[in-house]
Structure 1
Amino acid sequence: MLSDSDMATVMVNSAPSSDGPVPHAVSVSDILVNGPSSTVEDYITETTEETKTEESQLDMFRSKGPSSPALWTTRRDGEVKLRLDQHGIGSEKPKTVNELLQESVRKYGDYFALASKKGDKWIKQTYRQYYEECRKAAKSFIKLGLQRFHGVGILGFNSAEWFIADIGAILAGGFAVGIYTTNSPEACQYVAENSGANILIVENDKQLQKILEVQHKLPLLKAIIQYNDELKEKRPNLYTWSEFMSLGRDIPDSQLDTIIDSQKPNQCCTLIYTSGTTGQPKGVMLSHDNITWTALSAGRYVRLTEGPEQQELVISYLPLSHIAAQMIDIWLPIAFGAQVFFARPDALKGSLVDTLREVRPTAFMGVPRVWEKMEEKMKSVGAKSSALRRKVAAWAKEVGLQTNLKRMKGSSELPVNFRLARQLVYKKVRKGLGLDRCTKCYTGAAPITKETLEFFLSLDIPVYELYGMSESSGPHTVSLPETFMITSCGKEVTGCRTMIYKPDSDGSGEICFSGRHIFMGYLNMEDKTKEAIDEEGWLHSGDLGKHDKNGFLYITGRIKELIITAGGENIPPVPIEDAVKEAVPIISNLMLIGDKAKFLSMLLTLKCNVDGETGEPEDDLTPDVIAYCLKLGSKATKVSDIVGGKDKAVYAAIQKGITSVNEKATSNAQKIQKWALLEKDFSIAGGQLGPTMKLKRPVVMKMYKDQIDQFYTDV
């Protein structure tokens, strides 16, 4: 376990504050009185005339007349029919992004919104200052010639400038377009070209060079802005952030307000590009209403507290080109007045835990790899503890797991040994991780193993799974403390609906979504849009899943990943892959193979250290793998020791784990007949994993074709 000495101390002058407004703030009562949120229900109590006006505005979006918009569009200037409900949260009045921002300023204007660390101090901006900066950026975009419904591409690590550029682009009438920092120059070019980007924002010279390499292929590009570091060279139409922010000082408010007033809730404001694991990235068009309604509905569902009540604190570190980070870091905080702290750029290389300890967030989202890395680190630290400490930890974890599994099934009993373990172990672990006041720990964006979920549950840290996609504006189902089943991704956010399409005898079929969070369409891709949204308006996710008798949703695989053997049996790979990972804890990544083949085979990689700068996997095994090998009687410390020498003890242990999984297989076709250990782990840098650590199966099939072919020769 992490000792008290491991815990970072926070300097008084730099400690994050959630104690409300800065000294010159108006009173909380003023904020609450002057800034109520508008709902359809509020208007019912107004005069009859006002009610009629409100209803006529909503009817505009509900209209089903011959000239009314369709449920989807692929045009950049297109409009869609909003999926308004007659009652409940789905009937809330549609808002534009600007309306959400103005409401936020009325409610939380003098509360801190953004916190950026400069040296050892947090530099903070209030919601009022934040909005003014967004308007300034919007005016500068207008000055640079940003055209209506054209992109502003943002390529860099999370920062206040990223947020301001994103919102400024929307206010100026353009599209906010995040670009993955891991993208190649060619991939950046594709997104810029597809989105019709007039302006590109880059973090530093490294990202700038990617754009300069392809700039001659981007005729619509008018300007590039670099928001971090000094410019290494002066070029035409290349600006620093401060230069950019002063460009629009001559643009009158009235000019910006005219553009803002022309915006409608059912028009596109943001493009999210899919990671392209199965082909060219698609530009997911999200409307103002997609974003503002989803933030409201999801925030209420997970019971985020509003700023004046108790300000939520979150850390921004996941890629903002992904919908999960945008919704959690940008839009939910604006809707509920949370304070966002920006992590350091090397967060995923080790500094995240320091930021966690300093900020002590109230809500935290980690992709599975983040939770797995925490688990590995804690196991490594625990292995070096004294025998007594290890014994106490093992006891506490057993008590924690059993108690929480019972609580998950409805028990409210907290036995004495659990309360004792909480004092001796759980509280210290939470404090050591910086999660001591975090009541909402989430995971999503990729599958997480049952082993990792149980590890944290045993330490009284329930990690709640959420599920959704770019095309659903982020969350569709979420687990909550009172609706939580391990390995399930919870139940629908209020106002969202699920259908299991063509279920099999086990109840498993394609998961389909409906609600106001469903995207507008893929930019300029009509065929792909028609594949995704059916004639009745259901979004087909491409994921396979089923509901249990209590309505919990379980993901069982992806249709495109489904393995159909030569014998015609349909096999979802993920459950088998998860079972092997659980049976063989030294495995880092793996992939099941067998489409159109006579039997299943598998590629596996070992857990190893990762280069902090490049993200490349190294040859050195992680400490927990070395310890595991020692228990087997192996002295291996490197991947090459095991793979190169075909280490008998390790290979036997892997075979034993795979055999145990095979014994539980429902048919012979689902048994793994052959497997191979690869010399190098999968990584983003290597191309086998996408930006959110999702496995790029077609890439792996191509890269390791020789090894795969070898499985099926001489058969």
Structure 2
Amino acid sequence: MSDTQTLIENRPPSVANLFTERVEATPDAEAYRYPVPSATGEGPDDWKSLSWGEAAGRVYAIAAGLIDLGVQPEDRVALASSTRVEWILSDLGVMCAGGATTTVYPSTNAEESAYILSDSDSRVLIAEDASQLAKARERRAELPGLKHVVVLDSTGVEPDAADPEGWVLSLADLEARGARYLETHPQAVKERVGAITADQLATLIYTSGTTGRPKGVRLPHDNWSYMAKAMAATGLIGPEDVQYLWLPLAHVFGKVLTSGQIEVGHVTAVDGRVDKIIENLPVVQPTYMAAVPRIFEKVYNGVASKARAGGGAKYKIFQWAAGVSREYAKTSQDNFRRTGSASVPFGLGAKHKVADALVYSKLREAFGGKLRAAVSGSAALAPDIGYFFAGAGIHILEGYGLTESSAASFVNPGEAYRTGTVGKPMPGTEVRIADDGEILLRGPGIMEGYHGLPEKTEEVLESDGWFHTGDIGELSADGYLRITDRKKDLIKTSGGKYIAPAEVEGQFKAVCPFVSNILVHGADRNFCTALIALDEPTILGWAEENGLGGKPYAEVVATTEVQQLIEGYVQRLNEGLQRWQTVKKFRLLPRDLDIEHGELTPSLKLKRPVVEREYQHLIDEMYDGSREK
């Protein structure tokens, strides 16, 4: 048995066990850094640190407080908060109490939040602030099983006479309660951690399905313990690393990073404020970080815009340097694949050296100057963006996984990474490509199933453990995976959010009386757009009533009046959607879609590839400027 196999197979039942081992091994080492706004609210934040021992003191107090509130093993405790150090401490506290964390995005609306809390049967909600508490109060009648709400930041939280006695308490209250409980039950948390079994539920993460309500993905403790060990076994992270963690911890990608850190013991700087990333990077000086493609797109677009603003000469230098960067990356990766050496021809190396002094070095400084590697996941990274950063010395290692596979199923291997692929399977994970090209996965990271939905589980999880991802891919002879397509119509934005276009399209048809057909687009894009065809008789009738009579359909839909009319309905649609589902731009088609042009099936179903291909110029127009070509 190899050292890697030994490391993975000899894993404890849970991350709670790994956490107690880490605390015992390095109690005084730095574990977390987190920002504290300055007293005046102006100027840069102060950054504070927690050692592993200090973190454990808080984690165990939270765990004991939850036990005192009546949380039993596998009881769900929901966490509705942005990424902050208290999220991690609370999640570890839930695990050490033997409970299971239900993750809720803070941007989730009150209705869907209530559904998740109800479906998961969460007994306690840990809410970030007054706004998250307000959602629970609004829907309290629908949540008889929710016994307590713990608020992380009590600023602006007002008492409500309708709240049951003791229903709302602060995190400080919970920790104080836990400290008192430990005085009389000193072994309580240790006993709970010791009793955890590998198959015990640790996390419920809800994902959007193609239709209807989100499904709860049941991830037992063993998933996270395996992921922690597998991440360490890749060699991509080590004890001297500094991670910058800003990803949403309600998302499986962010969550898995906390497990790997505990196993390895490096420092993690935690701040989920996306608008602070550029400011934080030079302060944190991370050696690695994970992100979704949209962040790299934004950085690239920002650099390009800055160069453009600097005048024609400066922009020409940037364009030249970008071209050199891509050529350098492609050449060095090709050479490494063939010979094991990333060498490039002398002339290209000389050009790269000049471009480095003019452009790339400044880019690396913007990332803090010490970034060894960045991991990109949740959606495909445009290869041109990947090659640009690779040639500039910022190595983006694409990975692949799903909520159902605990996030990290594939990752590019360090120096041998290949832009445009998602790398090789994580140690201990198996992969095969089905006859129809679908990617199938098997291993310790695969979910137990969907919460309360055995029939949905059976659709994707075979009895022998193979999981159907719904994605189409190709494996190279030496094991690198390339994602080529999606088996289903479910689309994923470059920010990593799943969207069911048919659901959004159906909602628009419900609010707009003039629509005939609509196609929502957004796969691997940073926002959603729509192609809309109007019902000709209906819109021509409206035109007659509004001074536009006598004009043909194509002219009517091109008028400012009709554009504004449909804009109003798009805004109404967006009011009922989650932020990431909203349609930011749309174009009205010059004619309706039909069977004759091959855009609709005989049963009048939309043929998405045909419509997107035919109107690609309109789609490109809507995204023009959102990503540098």
TM category, shorter: 0.7 to 0.9
Question: What letter is aligned with 2:129?
Answer: N
Name the structure 2 match of 1:322: 251
Distance 2:480 2:223 in 1: 24
Question: What letter is aligned with 1:530?
Answer: E
Q: Which runs of 5+ in 2 are unaligned?
A: 39-44, 506-516, 531-555, 561-565, 598-629
Q: Deviations over 1:631-683 (max 9, x none)?
A: xxxxxxxxxxxx99789xxxxxxxxxxxxxxxxxxxxxxxxxxxxxx969999
Q: Which of 416, 419, 424 is the matching residue for 2:353?
A: 419
1:499 equivalenced with 2:417 (yes/no): no
Q: Give TM-score, length-normalised by structure 2.
A: 0.75
Matches within 5 A, 1:324-339: 324-328=253-257, 330-339=258-267
Distance 1:229 1:197 in 2: 21
The residue matched to 1:517 in structure 2 has which SS? coil
The answer as to whether partners of 1:153 and 1:192 remain within 8 angstroms in 2 is yes
Q: Deviations over 1:587-608 (max 9, x none)?
A: xx99899x9xxxx996679xx9
Name the CA shift for 1:646/1:704 in 2 (closer, same or farther; >3 Å).
closer
Distance 1:477 1:688 in 2: 35
Shift of 1:501: 1.0
Q: Deviations over 1:431-467 (max 9, x none)?
A: 0243x21111121112332333234335333322110
Name the CA shift for 1:278/1:450 in 2 (closer, same or farther; >3 Å).
farther
Shift of 1:469: 0.7
1:442 equivalenced with 2:370 (yes/no): no
My pick for the range that moved more, 403-412 or 88-97, is 88-97
Question: What letter is aligned with 1:399?
Answer: V
Distance 1:210 1:255 in 2: 33
Query: Which consecutive aligned stretches of 4+ in structure 1 deviate over 4 angstroms post-superposition?
Result: 87-90, 589-593, 600-605, 643-647, 678-683, 687-691, 703-709
Matches within 5 A, 1:11-160: 87-118=5-36, 119=38, 120-160=45-85
Name the structure 1 match of 2:289: 364
Name the CA shift for 1:249/1:90 in 2 (closer, same or farther; >3 Å).
closer
Name the structure 1 match of 2:173: 243
Name the structure 2 match of 1:254: 187
Distance 2:577 2:233 in 1: 33
Name the structure 1 match of 2:93: 168
Name the CA shift for 1:385/1:192 in 2 (closer, same or farther; >3 Å).
same
Name the structure 1 match of 2:366: 432
Equivalent residue pairs, number? 524
Name the structure 1 match of 2:624: none
Q: Deviations over 1:562-594 (max 9, x none)?
A: 8xxxxxxxxxx99xx99xxxxxxxxxx99899x
Distance 1:450 1:616 in 2: 22
Name the structure 2 match of 1:532: 460
The residue matched to 2:187 in structure 1 has which SS? helix
The answer as to whether partners of 1:362 and 1:437 remain within 8 angstroms in 2 is yes
Distance 2:129 2:502 in 1: 39
Distance 1:343 1:431 in 2: 20
Name the structure 2 match of 1:686: 574
Name the CA shift for 1:681/1:166 in 2 (closer, same or farther; >3 Å).
farther
Shift of 1:126: 0.4
Question: What letter is aligned with 1:244?
Answer: L
Matches within 5 A, 1:122-521: 122-235=47-160, 236=165, 237-251=167-181, 252-306=185-239, 310=240, 312-328=241-257, 330-343=258-271, 345=273, 347=274, 350-409=275-334, 410=336, 411-414=341-344, 415-434=349-368, 436-503=369-436, 509-521=437-449
My pick for the range that moved more, 366-375 or 130-139, is 366-375
Distance 2:568 2:351 in 1: 44
Name the CA shift for 1:196/1:706 in 2 (closer, same or farther; >3 Å).
farther
Distance 2:305 2:559 in 1: 25
Question: What letter is aligned with 1:102?
Answer: T
The residue matched to 1:133 in structure 2 has which SS? helix
Distance 1:460 1:712 in 2: 50
Shift of 1:390: 2.7
The residue matched to 1:489 in structure 2 has which SS? coil
Name the CA shift for 1:485/1:539 in 2 (closer, same or farther; >3 Å).
same
The answer as to whether partners of 2:16 and 2:96 remain within 8 angstroms in 1 is yes
Shift of 1:132: 1.8
Name the structure 1 match of 2:544: none
The answer as to whether partners of 1:89 and 1:494 remain within 8 angstroms in 2 is no
Shift of 1:162: 1.0
The answer as to whether partners of 2:326 and 2:384 remain within 8 angstroms in 1 is no
The residue matched to 1:560 in structure 2 has which SS? coil
1:544 equivalenced with 2:469 (yes/no): no
Question: What letter is aligned with 2:173?
Answer: E
The residue matched to 1:253 in structure 2 has which SS? coil
Distance 2:144 2:209 in 1: 24
Shift of 1:352: 1.4
Distance 1:122 1:561 in 2: 44
The residue matched to 1:272 in structure 2 has which SS? strand
Distance 2:20 2:28 in 1: 13
Name the structure 2 match of 1:79: none
Name the CA shift for 1:604/1:157 in 2 (closer, same or farther; >3 Å).
closer
Name the CA shift for 1:551/1:261 in 2 (closer, same or farther; >3 Å).
closer
The answer as to whether partners of 2:94 and 2:100 remain within 8 angstroms in 1 is yes
Name the structure 1 match of 2:548: none
The answer as to whether partners of 2:246 and 2:270 remain within 8 angstroms in 1 is yes
Distance 2:364 2:247 in 1: 21
Question: What letter is aligned with 1:560?
Answer: K
Question: What letter is aligned with 2:475?
Answer: H
Distance 1:603 1:273 in 2: 23
Please report the RMSD computed on the Cα atoms of aligned residues, expressed in angstroms. 3.8
Name the CA shift for 1:458/1:528 in 2 (closer, same or farther; >3 Å).
same
The residue matched to 1:243 in structure 2 has which SS? helix
The answer as to whether partners of 1:483 and 1:490 remain within 8 angstroms in 2 is no
Q: Deviations over 1:527-571 (max 9, x none)?
A: 111112102211111111111333221112222228xxxxxxxxx
Name the CA shift for 1:472/1:680 in 2 (closer, same or farther; >3 Å).
farther
Matches within 5 A, 1:594-613: none
Q: Deviations over 1:399-439 (max 9, x none)?
A: 221111011112522522223322332111110243x2111
The answer as to whether partners of 2:11 and 2:225 remain within 8 angstroms in 1 is no
Matches within 5 A, 1:612-627: none
Name the CA shift for 1:687/1:535 in 2 (closer, same or farther; >3 Å).
farther
The residue matched to 1:286 in structure 2 has which SS? strand
The answer as to whether partners of 2:12 and 2:18 remain within 8 angstroms in 1 is no
Name the CA shift for 1:461/1:195 in 2 (closer, same or farther; >3 Å).
same
My pick for the range that moved more, 175-184 or 294-303, is 294-303
The answer as to whether partners of 1:145 and 1:222 remain within 8 angstroms in 2 is no
The residue matched to 1:319 in structure 2 has which SS? coil
Distance 2:485 2:227 in 1: 25
Shift of 1:261: 2.1
Question: What letter is aligned with 1:555?
Answer: I
